[in-house]
Amino acid sequence: MTLDGTNFQAEVLNSKGLTLVDFWAVWCGPCQVLGPIIEAIAEEIKDTVTVGKLNVDENPELAAQYGVMSIPTVILFKDGQPVEQVVGVRAKQDYLELIEKHAG
């Protein structure tokens, strides 16, 4: 799902359960590496976790609000609150473990 200033409140902040948000930009090489990993995760866990991508160039105010200083940054929200943040590219399993840790 593509997130921006118009739907972030409804899709992330007002949602129940877990939402994984990938803060990225088109020009960011590591973001391009992470993209397929995030898409694979989204497909794998689509029934339990919402996954979205937020372009920081198009939404600088949201990036600043969550302290995103470098990208890619992935933030896991639980019931609308940020619970964990990962900067840089990690293995798919690392993100799945992060989700599992907060799923309980």
Helical (H) or strand (E) element with 30: helix 29-44
pLDDT in tens, 60-92: 999 999 999 999 999 999 999 999 999 999 999
The C-alpha atoms of residue 93 and residue 60 are separated, in whole angstroms, by: 29
pLDDT digits over 2-45, tens only? 999 999 999 999 999 999 999 999 999 999 999 999 999 999 99
Point out the residues that are catalytic.
28, 31
Which class is 2-103 in CATH? alpha beta
Neighbours of 63 (CB within 10 A): 20
Indicate the pTM of the whole model: 0.96
Length of the chain: 104
Domain ranges of the chain: 2-103
